[in-house]
Amino acid sequence: NAGVTQTPKFQVLKTGQSMTLQCAQDMNHEYMSWYRQDPGMGLRLIHYSVGAGITDQGEVPNGYNVSRSTTEDFPLRLLSAAPSQTSVYFCASRNSGDSARPQHFGDGTRLSIL
Amino acid sequence: AQKITQTQPGMFVQEKEAVTLDCTYDTSDQSYGLFWYKQPSSGEMIFLIYQGSYDEQNATEGRYSLNFQKARKSANLVISASQLGDSAMYFCAMREGDAGNMLTFGGGTRLMVKP
């Protein structure tokens, strides 16, 4: 059972480059989210989705785009990378049925923007 | 005002002793959930324990228990019989509403267990 899979695990970009962080889950979860974690801080919500075709902004959405064409996948796009986007990115998913169920997190993508 | 406040940036505890990690929260919702996650140095987020706002009893999961004081808006994590493997960052998080997908995290507490 793979759970939530994030790729790549590490990435170095130059300022202005674009890239997509991949997130896939095999638990048929309706809810998926992207968070970023800056050094010494807690996670902050970037974007989230409550189902295929439905996305919404979180606390820190600027500079990021998302789409949800399938239940399984929720990619995060950086259109023009900036040094301020250097962070560790976590994807999470949750079943919508039970509010007590925790979010399942991927192992994270460590992104450095030079 | 911050929604989740963890006032202890770092704590030490002697192996086999109990330790309490503080968490206070701020919400106007009647229905909400509080979660604690552990993040070891390897970086993954590990779910520990959950407390719902309507739960009458404090949550327990093995060596973890949650001291939930609703009127004071606090949800402190108690770890009993600390082990060296408990050394990690600990995050308190809140979900507002019943069906919300969003978690708001505190800044975390780094726990270090001394042998």
pLDDT band, residue A1 (cuts 50/70/90): low
Mean pLDDT of chain A: 93
Strands B32-39 and B88-96 come out as antiparallel
The three-state secondary structure class of B89 is strand
Q: What is the pLDDT of residues A18-61, one digit of tens each?
A: 999 999 999 999 999 999 999 888 999 999 999 999 999 999 99
Q: Which helix (H) or strand (E) holds A66?
A: strand A64-66
Residue B5 above 70 pLDDT?
yes
**pLDDT average, residue stretch A76-93:** 96
pLDDT band, residue B100 (cuts 50/70/90): low
User: Is B13 in CB contact (< 8 Å) with chain A?
Assistant: no
Q: What pLDDT, on a 0 to 100 scale, did the predictor assign at position B98?
A: 63
Which residue, among A6, A43, A87, would best test binding to B if mutated, counting the most B CBs under 10 Å from its CB? A43
> B27: which residues sit within 8 A by CB, 6+ positions away?
B3, B73, B94, B96
Count the neighbouring beta carbons within 10 Å of the beta carbon of residue A2: 9
Tell me if B52 and A99 make a contact (CB, 8 A cut-off).
yes
Q: Interior CA angle at A44 toward B88 and A10, to 5°?
A: 70
**pLDDT average, residue stretch B87-105:** 86
Which residue, among A10, A33, A35, A37, would best test binding to B if mutated, counting the most B CBs under 10 Å from its CB? A37
